[in-house]
């Protein structure tokens, strides 16, 4: 039986690089080689003699690095899963995106699979995260726009918000997607669902409500939940979390949001657009603290222009309720300030769901936040246990969870050697305007001692933004000063999540800023901002005619 080996290879920059990498892989046992330096890609056929460590050793000391490996059988039957008298080849704890991606991959490999779920099938994204929040953010944005038209001669007005009806519509959509994207797939792929609470009782045994379930391999994908720091008096305020905020049926007149990273910004602006007077409190020195400082500054100004208050570098000290109102005492620069509102939303992050899993008995290491520690192949400190998704130390994004589940399942069942490569992982905050990023920030690049150069393009220089009568935002690019390769892209603009995908593709193929500037970008789209930002390294785009190269 032969196997096709596919690899992502970093460091190739020319045709000669293809020959060097190809020679190393041939010496390690691959035949029928295909190497493409532009795509950072290599593939070949293993007839049984390929040794990945030999290939790695052959490339040691060079600029080339194998960053991920995947395999596929070239004959019909797959290698058998681990030997043993088990109930299942793979037992998955949790039923979210990581779990289902792993289960589907495992079934593709011919394995028997069961999912254990203690609550509602589908995990965070479809039930209480991405889907319901975005299902509310869009109508809130449209409602706000109806009352704030920027166009002369086109008067608009916003009427009354029926939040209860909006919540009911959101719940209906969640139910449909939960059924179609999760529950119905159990029968499609012949995956067993075991309802109950799972707990490891040893390194290779799991108890589910008193029943011992055995498996050749285990995958932990139990997700994460809202986390709230200990604050004096907070329990008496009836505070909201990112979950319960999506359930209330009345718009608060005034709302305090503690936390101004992605979740806090999204949910706070949701209620601001529905009519609440919102005050943000952020403990770090700026809102959107992990984005470029220029992005944070523009967003801060925009929120204030919309009527919000923003307190940065502020610590929540005490809270309470008085006469149907809530209050929060914050401290900033040694000065205490008392804030009051109708409701208090704690958007202070999420913590992995590992407390009840018995991971000590399984010999699975966790970090200080309770996250399962995994390597690039998603394996844990227990050789029979893998983990994927928000429960791990990897970034908490649903697409990362799904990719991780797929990789973990193949590594667990096939010892495939695949790795999770986050170099081109995008992130999007669905505010208005939205924030999207991929790759390194300027500060991160300099911390790695990379020679970097940057460009910052205000949206005033983007024709689409001018036509929209909305120039709030900017594009910042970070590039290698020596080679011109794009290292990071950061966008604050309408449709930033769509624009960023072009930067993801460019970075995946190690494109330079000159190559990006030379590509066709359709005029009067926000995507053109990426081209303009690339041109900004060498030209003043304000002095160019439309579409000038």
pLDDT of 83: 62
* Shared-domain flag, residues 251 and 213: no
Domain-located, residue 547 = no
Statement to judge: residues 454 and 306 lie in one domain: no
How does pLDDT run across 57-102, given as a tens digit for each residue? 889 888 898 988 887 654 333 334 556 789 999 999 999 999 999 9
Q: Which residue has the tokens 């939960």?
A: 178
How is residue 171 written in tokens?
Answer: 């719940």
**Which of these three, 414, 435, 451, is where a domain ends?**
414
pLDDT tens string 342-372:
999 999 999 999 999 999 999 999 999 999 9
Residue from 118, 130, 425, 453 carrying the catalytic annotation: 130
Per-residue pLDDT band for 543 (boundaries 50, 70, 90) equals confident
Q: Which of 1, 14, 189, 519 is catalytic?
A: 14
pLDDT over 70 percentage in the chain: 97
What does the angle CA 484 – CA 488 – CA 493 come to, to the nearest 5 degrees? 120
* Confidence band of 337 (pLDDT split at 50, 70, 90): very high
| 519 is known as an active-site residue | no
Lowest mean pLDDT among 41-50, 115-124, 271-280, 399-408: 41-50
**pLDDT tens digits, residue range 97-133?**
999 999 999 999 999 999 999 999 999 999 999 999 9
Asked whether residue 549 is assigned to any structural domain, the reply reads no
Average pLDDT over residues 441-464: 96
Catalytic residue among 1, 519, 523, 547: 547
| Residues whose CB is less than 8 angstroms from the CB of residue 189 and which lie 6 or more positions away in sequence, other chains included | 103, 104, 107, 113
Shared domain check, 342 and 438: no
**Active site residue: 17, 299, 346, 526, which one?**
17
Q: Which one of the listed residues 7, 88, 125, 526 is annotated catalytic?
A: 125
547 flagged as catalytic? yes
Q: What is d(CA 411, CA 456) in angstroms, rounded to the nearest whole number?
A: 41
pLDDT at site 486? 97
Give φ, ψ of 428 to 5 degrees. -135, 135
Find the CATH number of the domain harbouring 117: 3.50.50.60
Asked whether residue 59 falls in the same domain as residue 138, the answer is no
Instruction: Indicate if 17 belongs to the active site.
Output: yes
Let me know if residue 69 belongs to a domain.
yes
For 477-488, how does the pLDDT look when each residue is reduced to its tens digit (9 = 90+)?
999 999 999 999
83 within some domain: no
**Cβ proximity of 365 and 374 under 8 Å:** no
User: Can you give the pLDDT at residue 79?
Assistant: 36
Note if 125 is an active site residue.
yes
**Is residue 433 reached through a cis peptide bond, with omega within 30 degrees of 0 on the bond before it?**
yes
* Co-location of 52 and 93 in the same domain: no
Does 311 qualify as catalytic in the annotation? no
Q: Collapse the DSSP code of 412 into the 3-class scheme (helix H, G, I; strand E, B; otherwise coil) and give the result.
A: helix
Q: Report the pLDDT value the prediction gives residue 74, as an integer from 0 to 100.
A: 42
pLDDT at 473: 98
Q: Which single residue is written with the structure tokens 């007077």?
A: 277
Whether 281 has a pLDDT exceeding 50, the answer reads yes
Per the listing, tokens 């045994």 go with: 205
The CATH number given to whatever domain includes residue 465 is 3.30.390.30
Residue 80 lies in a domain: no
Calpha distance 127→140 (Å, rounded): 19
Domain membership of residue 548 (yes or no) is no
Residue 93 DSSP SS3: strand
Q: Quick one: pLDDT at residue 318? A: 98
Q: Are residues 282 and 160 in the same domain?
A: no
CA–CA distance, 537 with 492 (Å, rounded to integer): 19
* pTM for this entry: 0.86
Q: Are residues 379 and 485 in the same domain?
A: no
Q: Calculate ∠ Cα 412-417-421, nearest 5°.
A: 105
For 416, residues 6+ apart whose C-beta sits below 8 A from its C-beta are 69, 70, 71, 410
CATH number at residue 13: 3.30.70.100
Domain boundary (45, 73, 101) is at 73
357 and 215 in a common domain: yes
Q: Is 130 a catalytic residue?
A: yes
In this predicted structure, what is the pLDDT of residue 75? 37
Is there a domain that residue 129 lies in?
yes
Same domain, 114 and 180: yes
Q: How far apart are CA 258 and CA 284, in angstroms?
A: 11
Lookup result for tokens 């403990």: 283
Lowest-pLDDT range, 20-29, 34-43, 162-171? 34-43
d(CA 549, CA 153): 35
Task: Provide the pLDDT for residue 73.
Answer: 55
> Is there a domain that residue 391 lies in?
yes
Domains: count for the chain? 4
* pLDDT-based confidence at residue 3 (cuts at 50, 70, 90): confident
Point out the catalytic residue in the list 64, 88, 144, 311. Answer: 64
Report pLDDT digits (tens) over 165-179.
999 999 999 999 999
Q: Domain range holding 484?
A: 426-542
Q: What pLDDT shows up at residue 82?
A: 54
Do 343 and 366 share a domain, yes or no? no
pLDDT at 2: 67
Residues 222 and 358 placed together within one structural domain of the fold: yes
Q: Rounded to 5 degrees, what angle do the CA atoms 403, 406, 410 make?
A: 140
Rounded to 5 degrees, φ, ψ at 84 are 145, 160
Q: From 391, 414, 437, give the residue that closes a domain.
A: 414
Domain shared by 275 and 390, yes or no: no
């Amino acid at each position: 039986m032969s196997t096709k080996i596919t690899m992502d290879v970093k460091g190739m920059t020319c045709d000669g690089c293809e020959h060097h990498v190809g020679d190393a892989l041939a010496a390690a046992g691959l035949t029928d080689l295909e190497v493409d330096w532009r795509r950072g890609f290599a593939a070949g056929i293993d007839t049984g003699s390929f040794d990945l460590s030999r290939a790695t050793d052959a490339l040691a000391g060079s600029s080339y690095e194998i960053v991920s490996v995947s395999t596929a059988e070239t004959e019909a039957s797959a290698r058998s899963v681990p030997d043993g008298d088990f109930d299942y080849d793979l037992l998955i704890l949790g039923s979210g995106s990581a779990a289902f991606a792993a289960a589907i991959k495992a079934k593709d490999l011919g394995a028997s699979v069961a999912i254990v779920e203690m609550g509602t099938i589908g995990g965070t994204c479809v039930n209480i995260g991405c889907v319901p929040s975005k299902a509310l953010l869009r109508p809130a944005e449209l409602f706000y726009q109806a009352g704030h038209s920027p166009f002369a001669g086109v008067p608009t007005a916003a009427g009354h918000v029926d939040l209860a009806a909006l919540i009911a519509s959101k719940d209906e959509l969640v139910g449909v997607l939960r059924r179609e994207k999760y529950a119905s797939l159990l029968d499609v792929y012949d995956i067993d669902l075991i309802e109950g609470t799972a707990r490891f009782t040893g390194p290779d045994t799991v108890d589910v409500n008193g029943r011992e379930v055995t498996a050749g391999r285990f995958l932990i994908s139990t997700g994460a939940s809202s986390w709230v720091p200990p604050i004096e008096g907070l329990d008496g305020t009836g505070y909201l979390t990112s979950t319960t905020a999506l359930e209330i049926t009345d718009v608060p007149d005034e709302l305090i949001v503690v936390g101004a990273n992605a979740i806090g910004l999204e949910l706070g602006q949701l209620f601001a657009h529905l009519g609440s007077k919102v005050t943000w409190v952020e403990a770090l020195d700026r809102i959107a603290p992990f984005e470029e400082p220029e992005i944070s500054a523009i967003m801060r100004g925009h929120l204030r222009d919309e009527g919000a208050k923003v307190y940065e570098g502020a610590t929540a000290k005490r809270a309470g309720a008085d006469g149907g109102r809530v209050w929060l005492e914050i401290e900033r620069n040694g000065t205490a300030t008392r804030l009051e509102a109708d409701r208090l939303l704690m958007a202070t992050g999420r913590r992995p769901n590992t407390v009840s899993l018995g991971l000590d008995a399984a010999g699975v290491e966790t970090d200080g936040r309770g996250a399962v520690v995994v390597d690039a192949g998603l394996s844990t400190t227990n050789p029979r246990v893998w983990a994927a998704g928000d429960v791990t130390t990897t970034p908490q994004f649903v697409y990362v969870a799904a990719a991780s589940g797929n990789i973990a399942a193949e590594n667990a069942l096939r010892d495939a050697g695949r790795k999770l490569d986050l170099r081109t992982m995008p992130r999007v905050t669905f505010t208005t305007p939205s924030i999207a990023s991929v790759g390194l920030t300027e500060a991160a690049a300099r911390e790695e001692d990379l020679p970097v150069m940057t460009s910052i393009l205000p949206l005033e220089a983007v024709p689409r933004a001018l036509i929209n009568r909305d120039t709030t935002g900017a594009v910042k690019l970070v590039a290698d000063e020596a080679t011109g390769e794009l290292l990071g892209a950061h966008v604050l603009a309408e449709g930033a999540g769509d624009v960023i995908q072009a930067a993801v593709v460019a970075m995946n193929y190690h494109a330079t800023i000159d190559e990006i500037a030379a590509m066709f970008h359709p005029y009067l789209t926000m995507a053109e901002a990426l081209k303009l930002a690339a041109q900004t390294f060498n030209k003043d785009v304000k002095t160019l005619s439309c579409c000038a190269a």
